[in-house]
Amino acid sequence: MKNLKFPTLFLLILALAGCKKETEETGLVQNKVSVKKDSVVAPEVHKEYYGIYMGDFAGKEMITPETGEEYEGDVYKKLSLKINRITKDSVYGQSIVNGNQRPFRGVFNETTKSFILDEPGNDKSDGRFEVRLEKDSLTGKWSAFKASAVKAPYKTLKLAKKEFVYNPNFMLSENSDLIDWENPKDFAEKYTDEETGKTETYMASKNRIASGAVFKINASRQKLTEKDLKNLRKLDLEIIKNAVFARHGYAFKKQTYRNFFEQTDWYIPVSNNVDKELTPLEKENVALLNRFIKYAEDKYDSFGR
């Protein structure tokens, strides 16, 4: 009997191991089926509506003039809505305004050709877009989820479909306004009365201005040298550098740069990070421009607005 116990016990262990293995394998198969089932992607529809829609985003805000009392007026900003994917039940994409890129998810009504698109809601500037599609344009409204957290909780929008294209030849128009209106600086000025000979000191607000060099130097197309840059103003260098990023569709958070590039018909913000899109030439030029920007000086002048 003693000799029979060991084989019997051995066979029992093998049987149990086999059951365990079978259970694990069955479980593995079941898990694979579950993953496969969960990863089924809903078919896309209406791909013809995919793309970037860009235009005016208008709302009423309190405006403080240089002189006079504060008043409520219309403020216009640029908005980009990018529709990436449409299924029977969902719409996915992103919005960009003031350089702030936010994802959205919503639904599409085929009968009315209208979208309801909700931003995540975890940022004070998030809200709901209710827009209608007509040919290649989107019109409608936006409402903030937290009305008290933003200056203009209700806005209207009128957007046209745009196609983003990277082109190293894109430049600012020579009719562009080259004044940085967002960063005025106060300077002490002296005035001498011709009759009395008395000299008085007063403070004057002045703005940075760029030169015509920004229409000639292209950091996406030509290899820059120290000789090209050594006599340029700081704002010149900033515009030449940021034109590289604008050509790749960078969404500028600084209004100074938005003001310059929104004057063109080619600037379409598509992303808040385009570093990987820069060419080797552009990266080399940006590095050189950064060195000069660090020590360059600006030129200021007085302007009316």
Identify the domain boundary among 130, 162, 194: 162
Nearest CA to 53 out of 164, 109, 166, 137 is that of 137
Counted domains in the chain:
2
Contact 235, 257 (CB under 8 A): no
Instruction: Tell me the average pLDDT across 47-53.
Output: 97
pLDDT of 2 above 50: no
Residues 158 and 242 reside in one and the same domain? no
Calpha distance 119→133 (Å, rounded): 19
pLDDT of 291 above 70: yes
Higher per-residue pLDDT: 288 or 2 = 288
Instruction: Tell me the average pLDDT across 26-37.
Output: 37
Residues 66 and 150 reside in one and the same domain? yes
Residues 285 and 197 reside in one and the same domain? yes
Q: What is the pTM of this model?
A: 0.82
Calpha distance 282→285 (Å, rounded): 5
pLDDT of 18 above 90: no
Confidence at residue 194, expressed as pLDDT on a 0 to 100 scale: 81
Q: How confident is the model at residue 195 (pLDDT cuts 50, 70, 90)?
A: confident
Identify the domain boundary among 114, 136, 162: 162
75-104 tens-digit pLDDT: 999 999 999 999 999 999 999 999 999 999
Domain contains 35: no
Return the percent helix, strand and coil in the chain, to nearest 5.
Answer: 30, 35, 35
110-135 tens-digit pLDDT: 999 999 999 999 999 999 999 999 99
Confidence at residue 39, expressed as pLDDT on a 0 to 100 scale: 53
Residues 68 and 153 reside in one and the same domain? yes
Q: Which domain holds residue 210?
A: 179-301
Residues 117 and 231 reside in one and the same domain? no
Kindly give the residue spans of alpha helices, DSSP state H, lying in the chain: 2-38, 226-229, 234-247, 255-261, 280-295
Which are the contacts of 245, defined by CB distance < 8 A and separation ≥ 6? 252, 274, 278
Cβ atoms within 10 Å of 276's Cβ, excluding its own: 7
pLDDT of 17 above 70: no
Instruction: Tell me the average pLDDT across 30-58.
Output: 76
pLDDT of 11 above 60: no
Domain contains 71: yes
Calpha distance 220→180 (Å, rounded): 23
- Find the CATH number of the domain harbouring 142: 2.40.128.120
Instruction: Quote the mean pLDDT of the chain.
Output: 88
Between 187-196, 239-248, 261-270, 293-302, the lowest mean confidence (pLDDT) is in: 187-196
Contact 138, 157 (CB under 8 A): yes
Residues 63 and 152 reside in one and the same domain? yes
Which are the contacts of 62, defined by CB distance < 8 A and separation ≥ 6? 70, 71, 72, 151
Domain contains 19: no
